[in-house]
Structure formats: C-alpha cells, structure tokens
Structure 1
C-alpha cells in the first residue's frame, strides 16, 4: 500500500524571532510592548502567544505572530489542509464536515476563502528561459451555469501550465491571436497538440514547427482504416496495410508514398444528399496524412519534442477530477484560481 506524506506548514505556539522592522515606516528601533494570548483554530494548538511591539519612530503599535499563524483565526496549516481536501474533490461543505469530525469548526465560505487565498500566493510561473516546446489543448468549464471554452498552454519541458485563456478552440481568430502572443512572450518554436485542424492552421500561419499527438492520430486513423476495410473490396487490403505500416515506421518519404497511393484512388462521382463513398473517404484520408506527414514525425528529428501531448492532458485531467464534484463557478478569477491550485506544487 502506498503511503503519501503531506508536508504542511509548521505552527509554533511562541514567538521565537523579532520583527525585521516596523510595517509602517520600516524602522528597526522597536520596543517590546507586551504579550497577548490569541485563540487559534489548528489541529494541534488551541491558542498561541503573540508579542506586541512599539515603533519608537512613528509610534505605531503592531503584533508579531509565531511561525504558521497570522491575523486570521485559522493557522496556515489548517488553511492548507482545508485547501488540499477541496482540491482532492470534496465540496466546501464536505470539507467542513471532515474537519468538524475532529472538533474543528469552519464555515464553508471560510474554506472557499482559504482556497482563493492559497491560489493567490502561487500563480502560473513564467519561465525565465522561455518555452521552446509548448503543448496546448482545449476543454470546457461552467461559469455562471454556462459552458465556456477554455485553452491551456503547458511548458512540455517542465510539465507546468504557463497560460490559461477563456477561448474556444473553434474560434480561430482568438486562438491565433493568443498563440501569437505566447510566441512573442515565451519564444515558442514548436507546438504540440492533437490533430484538430485549427491547431495545424495556426502552426503554419505562425511559422511554428508542429508535432501532432501520436496517440490521437493513430487512434482515429486506425479506426477509420478498419471501417473502410470492411466496406471496400479485398483488392484494397494491401494499400490499407501499407498505410498502417507507414504510420508505424514513419519514414522520411512516407508523405510522398502516401500521396502516390492517393493518386491511385478514383472514387465515383458523389451523389447529392448521399453518404460519402468509402473510396472518397479513403482519398480524403490519404491527402490529409500526406499534408501533415512532417507533423507526425517531428519527434524523430527533435530530441526535446515528445511523441504525445500527455503533459497537457494530465494538466486538464487534474482539473477535471476537481471539477467533477463542483457545480460550476460564478466568476472567471475564481475558476482561474481553482485551476491554478489544482496544478500547483504547493498542494
């Protein structure tokens, strides 16, 4: 059985240090001004001793708290614990129920404020060295009861999300503008995505190298080839097997060889309001594979380019685990904070 150890903030019941300076004027000339007892909500401490100091320059009096304690009634440790419970899928009311079983009483809105406060303390990092290989993908979330298209960008070198945008992946102008901004700010050279047509078009327009997720294109291509093989004559079995083998080996001239197969396919004229003939579907497939061939095998030429977009999928997956038990979000900042927290190293 796997045992997971979670490191929470340390909480002291006594002040062991002096403040570095007055919070108002910065003066280091401070005079002790007594000690008071502060009730605190914490799994281990019920109260702590807080020291008060008086600034001899501006005459401001302030409190200096022990490690792990602030002005709030909760300790930092309890705030982290409540946030972790929420990230793991419990609703705010469920979190209050779990903590209440241990004698710690919290309001469900206090739990939500803890989530927001911890998310505000950690934002999506902007890599100092830039991002050469960027993974992108789209998903949907609920804001005020309405489904909203979202885009996330992930640094595939580290696996960390670097950008989140309220953009539907079908909205090409907005998608292109967002990717253009990321290219300029992060120095992106390679784009990794699934085989949605908007991504391929964006990569060509922005002059980016493009790697299409190998898992995605092999899945739908093999399904389509199996479907066509059942509908076509036996004479087409060999060309279909050739396509499968080319996709498996990914030779440099594979795009040209598939294009030669494309030229051999002569479908009958299409009849209006009738389903597309299997040969026409095969011809369309071969042309698409030929056009995108370089995007299928870029990982063979660039060592730092992954074969799949799994890192981006995992980022969205962590969010979906949390979102499964949520009814939605009322505001965009609240959603961003929740998404950020689900993918942060502090929880």
Structure 2
C-alpha cells in the first residue's frame, strides 16, 4: 500500500489525488499519510545506498523551485545502476561547497571516478579529492562546435582550416590529440591582447580554445582506460530530468527536507 502511494505521487498525482485513487481499491489513506509514505520511501532509498560501494558516479547541478525561488541542488548518481545516490542543497558553481558535500561520500563509498560536465568548478574538486574526472563529451563537443561555427565567420581564411582540424580532433579523440593541439598552438603569432586598445581577436580566441582542450585532454578520455566509465553524463541528466518533471507539477516545496525527499523518490521513479 505504501509503495502504491509513492508510485501514485511519482506519476504526478497530488497527495489528495493519490488518496482518491487508492480509495478506488478500497484503501483509505489521508493525504498526510501518503506524504509520510513518500518521505519514508526517500529515507529507505538513502539507507539502501548509504554503504553500497560505488566506483563511478555522475555529478551534476540542477535548479528547482522551492520556498519562493529557485534553489540549487547537486545530484549524485551511481553510473552502474543509473539511480541517484543522494541529493544536496549545494550550488555546483561553488567548488568548496561541492568538495565538502562529496568528500564523505568518496570516503564511505570508495568512489574513484566522477563524470561531470565541463564546468570549471569541478576540476579543483576532482584534484582535491584525488578522483579521475571524465568530462562529458556531449557538453564539450557542443561548446566547441558552437565556438568553431562562430569563429569561422570572423577568422582570416588561413586559420579556418585550423579551426576545422581542432573540431575533427575532438570528434576522433586520438590518444595523441593533446600533442597535436599543443603543436598547433605553437603556430600562432604573438598575441597583442591585453595591450591598450587591443581586444581578444578571433585568432586569439581560437588559440585559447586549443590550449584549453590540450590542458584537459586526459579528462576527455578516461573512459578509454577505466572500465565502466561512460563518455557522457547522460545517466545523471536523465535522473535530473525525472526530478524536474515531477517538481514542475508540485505546488512548491516548502523546505529542503521535503524537496530532498521528493527529488530522491522522483529520481528513482517506479523501478
């Protein structure tokens, strides 16, 4: 009966609606009883995952409406099962807050790899916690593709081929890709950027992109030598999608406790 109550809520029913639908099966439950069932289901999920070893996790941020405004949430997903491990009231743009939240999880669960998008705040966290970081290829290819498309409209003709080669290297992900990118960066003339009256030119922007890719090359290819590491963070984004879909139908979370429970239950779904 408790499982049916939680499933009704996951499918988008309000607590009152869940109460009415259960009454059709001869089960009399008040909306507050169903609310408590959803909270208990979330606590049960947390207990099941508290000591379960996890080697590879996906980490991503989300913003959910609660107590009058949008609230930051950090979601941690087991990349082996695709299910959420926990959620935190943490802004992913704050590396110190992310580190404080993840550190006990890393120590307790034995995490060794984190899959993230290319947000700059994740890099110092991975280094501080001594984790391998796989940067989601979907995010990298999207911003590089957009950048190359925009740069080609303003680059001198002799540099367009270089931009296209950078894009191709990222698509192929060759083991020696970082060396090729470094060699390309050395072909550029001295930059005048930073001097009075000299903004960042399209050629300077292309070089900056090449250097950034070369510096992070190893983080693009962890999936090549680490078993069980996906090359995108799609499982985490799918969990967040479930959470957001249910959050949009909730009248509004009143506090973090209710939001955390609702997000965990919605993230798991009916599996």
Note whether the superposition's TM-score is higher than 0.5.
yes
Equivalent residue number for residue 36 of structure 1: none
TM-score normalized by the length of structure 2: 0.88
Taking the TM superposition and a 5 Å limit, the aligned residue runs for 1:110-259 are 110-123=33-46, 125-126=48-49, 130-259=53-182
Look up the match of 2:230: 306
Q: Identify which of 313, 316, 319 aligns with 2:243.
A: 319
Mapped pair 1:294 → 2:215? no
Is there any run of 5+ residues in structure 1 with no aligned partner, and where? 1-75
C-alpha contact 1:329 1:335 (8 A) present in aligned 2: yes
In the alignment, the residues of structure 2 paired with residue 337 and residue 161 of structure 1 have an alpha-carbon distance, to the nearest angstrom, of 12
**Gap change, CA 1:272 and 1:206, over 3 Å in 2:** farther
Structure-1-length-normalised TM-score: 0.70
SS in 2 for 1:177: helix
1:82 aligns to what? 5
Aligned position for 1:330: 254
* Greater mean alpha carbon deviation, residues 264-273 or residues 83-92: 264-273
Count the aligned residue pairs.
270
Residues 1:258 and 1:97: Cα distance change in structure 2 (over 3 Å): same
Partner Cα distance (1:150, 1:111) in 2: 24
Say yes or no: does 1:282 pair with 2:233: no
| Structure with more helix by fraction | 2
Alignment-derived partner of residue 265 in structure 1: 188
The change in CA–CA distance for 1:269 and 1:114 in structure 2 (over 3 A counts) is closer
Q: What's the CA shift for 1:303?
A: 2.5
User: What is the CA–CA distance in structure 2 between the aligned matches of 1:243 and 1:213, rounded to whole Å?
Assistant: 18
Over residues 285-316 of structure 1, what are the superposed CA-to-partner deviations in whole Å (9 max), with x where a residue is unaligned?
A: 11110100001111112232111111111111
Contact 1:154 1:312 in 2 (8 A): yes
Deviations along 1:71-120, whole A, 9 cap, x unmatched?
A: xxxxx2xx433332221122334445655778877654444233234434
Q: How many angstroms apart in 2 are the aligned matches of 1:342 and 1:126? A: 16
Question: What are the ranges of 5 or more consecutive residues in structure 2 without an aligned counterpart?
Answer: none
8 A Cα contact 2:112 2:131, kept in partner: yes
Residue 92 of structure 1 is matched in structure 2 by 15
Residue of structure 2 in register with 1:49 after alignment: none
Deviation at 1:131, TM superposition (A): 1.6
- Conserved 8 A contact 1:141-1:328: no
More RCO (CA 8 Å, sep 6+):
2
